[in-house]
Amino acid sequence: MTQIISGKNSYMKKILFLFILYLTLIISFFFGENSTGGAIIDYNNQQSISKKFSENFLSTLLSFDSYNTRHSPVLIIFLSLFEKINLPDLLIRLIHLHICLLLPIFFYKCLILKFNHTDKKILFLLSALIFLSPTFRSLAIWPDSRLLGLVLFTLSVFYFLKFDVSKNFSYAIYNIFTLALSAYVSPNFSVFSIFFMIKFILHYSFLSKKILSLILLNLFLALPAFYYIFILDINFFLKSAIGIKGDESIIFHNLFNDILITFSLIFFYLIPFVSLKIIKLDNFLNLKNLTITILIFLVCFLNFDYNYTYSGGGIFFKLSNFIFNNNYLFYIISFFSILIMCALLMENYYNVLLFALIILNNPQYTIYHKYFDPFLLIVFFTIFTLKIDLKRISTMKNYLFIFAYFLVFLIISNLKLTLVS
């Protein structure tokens, strides 16, 4: 089979390939790519707050919950430092874009640790898919806390994998510290401390001095956030979502909506890898898996009430309503999503825990695809326990299929905005 990026000139080919992907991002920067749809609006909103921070830091910090944003103030404060020295907005955004380029680098470093016996050229190709992510491109161009939080979260995963390989306690400390940073930038990532701490506890035992020191470190790092939100009562998480009335809960408004939509979104990212047998499924049509799938689907189906007018819902939910003006196609895809995902989740109990944390990671009513992109791609290939054969990516045909799959999604994400406008 023909191999991609191989031979004596493989290094130069990788550099050229990477440069082309980088060039597309720079071109998109100057054209203002907004493939997630709301990146520009969100940025303009937080930019106005950033200016207020640069003018009166303390007053803005103590009244942050009065502004129309559910984002953490950390990135906004960081950007306000540039506002303070009157740096042009174009340059501020360009600096942020280049900071976000750390994401594919950190992902690549994670892959090297996770698949240390796999050809690095294959790992390079897998990490390059980040450049096709609508969320990565849009939020790198229009600064948003979600992406910077993901950069730091991926770094925390890197340190966890370093710990997993070497069992060096210092890497556990680095993991907790970088995860705390990611949570301060984007609080949703904080829930993954449960996964990491369980792993550390099982290695050292719960009553060990090292675990006690990790718990104390977690508490110490969480104190500023705890004081800011619960003592000063500056709770910006509960700002109203689109279409939600003021007296309605936006946190876990309907857990069954979250479960069904999350299954469908995960399935979207699994399709190319499962179809090419890169991620292997073993006997997913057995009676146990079918029974669990039917039960989960029926419970979620009977309680599903996600409102299409509130926006979000993921690609399959939108597609179903766009083509048929109902949820039927979405339900069919969701059933198969649960069927396949349950087989993968049952391979390891940690997979079940990670799925639950992914649900907890997005507790608000409105569920946007951008919250899972490229986050799911990263966690699948780093902290999930799956049967993966990455050698199948090395063939030209297979990689072009994967690349085309995500490229088409990127193109559709941009085209849909043109059609709507």
Task: Kindly tell me if the per-residue pLDDT of 241 is higher than 60.
Answer: no
Residues 6+ apart with CB under 8 A from 108: 123, 124, 127
Question: What does the pLDDT read at residue 311?
Answer: 76
Residues written for the chain: 421
Q: Per residue, what are the HEC states of 51-70?
A: HHHHHCHHHHHHCHHHCCCC
pLDDT tens digit string along 301-310? 999 988 887 7
pLDDT tens digit string along 274-295? 999 999 888 788 888 999 999 9
| pLDDT tier for residue 365 given thresholds of 50, 70 and 90 | confident
Question: What does the pLDDT read at residue 421?
Answer: 44
Three-state secondary-structure class, residue 395: strand
How many distinct helices (H) and strands (E) make up the chain? Answer: 19, 0
Q: CA 374, 377, 378: angle at the middle one, nearest 5?
A: 90
Distance, CA of 130 to CA of 127 (rounded, Å): 6
Q: Per residue, what are the HEC states of 284-326?
A: CCCHHHHHHHHHHHHHHHHHCCCCHHHCCCCHHHHHHHHHHCC
Question: What does the pLDDT read at residue 413?
Answer: 86
Q: For the chain, what is the mean pLDDT?
A: 88
pLDDT tens digit string along 122-157? 999 999 999 999 999 999 999 999 999 999 999 999
Residues 6+ apart with CB under 8 A from 62: 232, 234
CA proximity to 169, closest of 112, 217, 238: 217
| pLDDT tier for residue 1 given thresholds of 50, 70 and 90 | very low
Question: Quick one: average pLDDT of 323-351?
Answer: 92
Question: What does the pLDDT read at residue 239?
Answer: 55
Rounded to the nearest 10 degrees, how much is the dihedral formed by the CA atoms of 370, 185, 151, 136? 30
Q: How far is CA 3 from CA 134, 218, 384, 392, 394, in A?
A: 28, 46, 27, 10, 6
pLDDT tens digit string along 2-20? 555 555 567 787 888 889 9
Distance, CA of 401 to CA of 276 (rounded, Å): 9
How is residue 250 written in tokens? 């936006």
